[in-house]
Amino acid sequence: MSKAILWFRQDLRLQDNPALHAALQHRQVIPIYIHDPASASPWQAGSAARWWLHHSLVALAEGLARRGSQLQVFHGDTQTILAELCRCSGAAQIHWNRRYEPAGIALDKQLKHQLQQQGVVTHSHNAALLFEPWQVLKGDGEPYRVFTPFWKACLRSGLSRPLLDAPAQLPAAESYSTLSVGALQLLPTLPWADGFHRHWTPGEAGAKAALERFIEQGLPHYAEGRDRPDRPHTACLSPHLHLGEISPARLVAAIQAASDRSGLLRHGESWLRELGWREFAHYLLYHFPETTAAPFNPRFANFPWRNDPAALSAWQRGETGFPIIDAGMRELWHTGWMHNRVRMIVASLLTKNLLIPWQQGANWFWDTLVDADLAANTLGWQWTAGCGADAAPWFRIFNPVLQGQKFDPDGAYVRRWVPELAALPNKHLHQPWKLNESKLAEYGVVLGKDYPHPIVDLATSRERALAAVKR
């Protein structure tokens, strides 16, 4: 009997899954998931991402079971498990979808070599990106370093491709593992993640619902509303994309169809451009893998960053004294997510006003974001810090007061996450230190007690940052 192993990784879906589609050409398919933290070193999944992974795997297992199959869960060394599974099952082929992180690429190369020696044929497929990183190059064969020409090249090639349906039924397979998803112990032991369920539904069905909700509620306002953290106009699909619960090709098809049908072409193009930034992030990570720890711009290798544990801790806790910053950091802690505009604002304060290395901010996001993606996290932090590809100019330093006034003008976002300031009028909500003590007391606020003083002077720290880059 022809057998093939289907190895799920960051492609936890049944619809539009190329590896699944190819594996089904065999009479028997063995769906597996291997939890091997050592293979991802030094970028093992953070705490919030592991919470999502647990529930996504549960959803995948249920989806397979409804179709007559079974997700077989393993824990340990990937190479050893695959070699033994091929031996005891007699499977002569393994299908998987490609990953683009440095550790994943290195592991896949090793596996292909080892399994080939064992007589096992491996097939890898693209399920995560619209384009393979080696497909989009400049005329001289070199990779793009700037987003706009990269995205124009993608658009010229066309974003659409045929979608693969989820199978209605799957062939039953023998069981080779008795582990449950719970045995992987992915869930955080701290109670901080208990509230995540109020905000998220991991799994393929959750991704589909999030997409439908965005098309109905967010897409008609996206071009203007995407920068407003006080409004529900963003898609919130990034964690679903990270673990492959929905394919980027399916998103393209859905957004293009909705835009054409409803006359929302401008909004659809604006959202697809953000999907393009995700492509660009993976593209850069593939071509420049050293950038997970080193600046893309080598001139920043000796930048005079500061070591300030107290300031870093205040930033992490959402106690900086800048309301839009603290709202974002508290949103992150309670939901595992942060609005993209706010991500840029909090990153700017850390790297430019506080001169704390971008790597420390990236590490905190890595552990607390449910959508913690190595490519996107690296690009975002280096972009804001001014040392990345196509980065924001170093002299672009986000003023948290002006950003709050512009993108949270009614204060709904700050009042939700920083309730101790809820009574302040809009005029003073984003800079409470401008009010004198007696006036603040009328609104029930004592700076230094109910809410902290700003941990840094914005004007002075801006000049310090500009002087540092000149040095």
- Same domain, residue pair 277 and 325: no
- Same domain, residue pair 121 and 210: no
Residue 31: helix, strand or coil by DSSP?
strand
Neighbouring CB atoms inside 10 A of 210's CB total 21
Task: Determine the pLDDT at residue 74.
Answer: 97
pLDDT tens for 12-62 read: 999 999 999 999 998 899 999 999 988 877 888 999 999 999 999 999 999
- Same domain, residue pair 282 and 143: yes
CB neighbour class for 94 (10 Å; exposed up to 12, middle 13-18, buried from 19): buried
- Same domain, residue pair 151 and 277: yes
Neighbouring CB atoms inside 10 A of 423's CB total 13
Residue 353 belongs to some domain of the structure: yes
**CA-based end-to-end distance of the chain:** 69
In angstroms, rounded to a whole number, what is the distance separating the alpha carbons of residues 46 and 341?
22
Q: Which of 293, 209, 284, 203 is nearest to 242 (CA)?
A: 203
Task: Catalytic residue, from 43, 84, 126, 277: name it.
Answer: 277
239's tokens: 């964690």
Query: Is the Cα torsion angle 315, 320, 325, 331 positive or negative in sign?
Result: positive
- Same domain, residue pair 134 and 282: yes
Digit-by-digit pLDDT tens for the chain (471 residues) are 589 999 999 999 999 999 999 999 988 999 999 999 888 778 889 999 999 999 999 999 999 999 999 999 999 999 999 999 999 999 999 999 999 999 999 999 999 999 999 999 999 999 999 999 999 999 999 999 999 999 999 999 999 999 999 999 999 988 999 999 999 999 998 888 888 999 999 999 999 999 999 999 999 999 999 999 999 999 999 999 999 999 999 999 999 999 988 888 999 999 999 999 999 999 999 999 999 999 999 999 999 999 999 999 999 999 999 999 999 999 999 999 999 999 999 999 999 999 999 999 999 999 999 999 999 999 999 999 999 987 767 778 999 999 999 999 999 999 999 999 999 999 999 999 999 999 999 999 999 999 999 999 999 999 999 999 888
* Bond preceding residue 425 cis, omega within 30 of 0: no
In angstroms, rounded to a whole number, what is the distance separating the alpha carbons of residues 3 and 91?
5
Known catalytic membership, residue 269: no
Residue 17: helix, strand or coil by DSSP?
coil
310's tokens: 């107290």
- The total domain count for the chain is 3
Residue 167 belongs to some domain of the structure: no
In angstroms, rounded to a whole number, what is the distance separating the alpha carbons of residues 325 and 458?
13
In angstroms, rounded to a whole number, what is the distance separating the alpha carbons of residues 115 and 118?
5
321's tokens: 């004294």
Last residue of a domain, one of 267, 287, 307: 287
CATH number at residue 223: 1.25.40.80
DSSP sequence for 373-386: -HHHHHHHHHHHHT
Instruction: Judge contact between 92 and 63, C-beta under 8 A.
Output: no
Structural domain harbouring 119 = 3-127
CATH number at residue 428: 1.10.579.10
Known catalytic membership, residue 358: yes
Max CA separation in the chain (angstroms): 82
Residue 316 belongs to some domain of the structure: yes
Q: Which of 276, 211, 282 is nearest to 242 (CA)?
A: 282
Backbone angles phi, psi at 177, to 5 degrees: -145, 145
- Same domain, residue pair 327 and 463: yes
Task: Catalytic residue, from 96, 337, 381, 394: name it.
Answer: 381
Task: Determine the pLDDT at residue 192.
Answer: 83
Residue 365 belongs to some domain of the structure: yes
Last residue of a domain, one of 262, 287, 312: 287
Residue 185 belongs to some domain of the structure: no
Residue located via tokens 């690429």: 105
pLDDT tens for 48-79 read: 999 999 999 999 999 999 999 999 999 999 99
In angstroms, rounded to a whole number, what is the distance separating the alpha carbons of residues 234 and 327?
17
- Same domain, residue pair 23 and 80: yes
Task: Catalytic residue, from 84, 132, 274, 319: name it.
Answer: 274
Task: Determine the pLDDT at residue 393.
Answer: 74
Task: Determine the pLDDT at residue 42.
Answer: 82
Task: Determine the pLDDT at residue 247.
Answer: 98
In angstroms, rounded to a whole number, what is the distance separating the alpha carbons of residues 279 and 133?
8
- Same domain, residue pair 24 and 123: yes
- Same domain, residue pair 302 and 274: no
Residue 168 belongs to some domain of the structure: no
Residue 199 belongs to some domain of the structure: no
- Cβ neighbours of residue 230 under 8 Å, at least 6 residues apart? 407, 408, 410, 411, 412, 413
State the DSSP code for 215. I
- Same domain, residue pair 239 and 361: no
CATH number at residue 27: 3.40.50.620
Task: Catalytic residue, from 126, 340, 363, 426: name it.
Answer: 340
- Same domain, residue pair 241 and 359: no
- Same domain, residue pair 57 and 143: no
Last residue of a domain, one of 76, 102, 127: 127
Task: Determine the pLDDT at residue 190.
Answer: 81
Exposure b/e, 107-143, CB count within 10 A at least 16 = b: bbeebbeebeeeebebebbbbbbbbebeebeeeeeeb
pTM (2 decimals)?
0.96
Residue 183 belongs to some domain of the structure: no
Task: Catalytic residue, from 192, 305, 319, 426: name it.
Answer: 305
What region, left, alpha or beta, does residue 203 occupy, with left being phi > 0 and alpha being psi -120 to 50 degrees? left
Task: Determine the pLDDT at residue 1.
Answer: 56
